[in-house]
Structure 1
Amino acid sequence: MGASVLWGAVAASSLLLGAVLGVVRRWSDAMVGTVLGFGAGALISSISFELFEEGLAVGGAMALALGLAFGACVFYVSDRWVERIGGRARGGAAGLPLALGAFLDGIPEQAVLGIGIAEGGGVSVALLVAIFVSNLPESIGSATDMRAAGSPPRRILLLWTAVAVVCMLATVAGYAAAQVTAEHFVGAVDGFAAGALLVMLVGAMIPEAQAKVHEKAGLAAVLGFAVAAGLSAVS
């Protein structure tokens, strides 16, 4: 249990770190777009080599597919809700959607981290690094976008502190759940994380990176994918 708390806190800490970086200084569109592109590539690698592959092997195709569809639908509906209440008003195009994405994919993603620890497989270095690295552009991009839209720094930091704490607790919950649930649950959790991530990537993160740095977003994404894939291969 102690290990799940420790590694959960390490993975989630980058959410708050990125929010602080986004609040304390103004980041250029080029920097934010490049970091968003790099993080998108790292997340795509995590989906491919950690979430999808492990979910299929452990839980089977049906549990993975159901989790994938459910995660995608939950994020889509939640994102529409954010849009309706004005989350994208006044220029904050991707701020709240990125925070929502970090929340929805962070919970199952970090739960998977806890599940791996509970099953005696230790900490997946590739997954840990992918979570940490991808959290940074999500929170930096969100905090920068929300700050530009006029949100007070205190509100931004409180939002991301809450997201980080919940995501850290998800690692502990995953550890505890692994003691009493079947392997199909693990596959469904992997699928949910992958589904939420994919919708967030296509709907918010990649378009925001493309809008800020244009074709350079693709290069940054490939580099992010390569780094995360390499870590997955050696872990």
Structure 2
Amino acid sequence: MKILVVDDDPNILELVNIHLSQAGYAVMKAGNGIEALKLLDEDLPDLAVVDVMMPGMDGYELTKRLRDEADIPVLLLTAKGELEDKEKGFLAGSDDYVVKPFEPKELLFRINAILRRYDKAVDIHIRVGPLQINRQSYEVSIGKKVLLLPLKEFELLSVLASKPNHVFERDLLIERVWGFDYEGDEQTLNVHIKRLRDKLEGLPESIKISTVRGVGYKLEVTS
């Protein structure tokens, strides 16, 4: 998943870059609207995070261009919270906004919510070694063997498999599977991870769910 981040403040640009990278996203950075549009010639991101107050081309104008030229979802970063500014952003074609200063976790929550609405949170077909996941039919298979998984276990495995050998933070896994407004505790995640491990036990040893103490989990794939 590629995310284009556009902000003329290098500190904000780097802050967003760090948190998105840690969450498993590939980040394309631009310091202004012109740079952002040039990057579209090289690669097409799945979503753009755009600052409103930029010299030259502001975030509203860039949002219109991104929607017209690339048709990608846009989340606006704004220092203003007035209704008029929100309305202007939505009229320009933005999908959501975050008011500065913001909590990085809130930014991640909103990005993932947008991607879910566009059904881009994970690929429809995921292949990890001998493991195949079909997000449309909700089937998990290894060769001719089909695993029957409850919905939350399926979604959890899908997220882990979307980026093999990448460590997903516990909070991020909970948000992606149960939603950012989930009010339960982390024990629910622990239980689902244990159940998945039990079901993956009989599979080739090249695939296993590993714990990274104090951080989260990863789907470890070895050749």
TM-score, with length taken from structure 1:
0.26
Tell me which protein shows more strand as a share of its residues.
2
More contact order relative to length (CA 8 Å, sep ≥ 6):
1
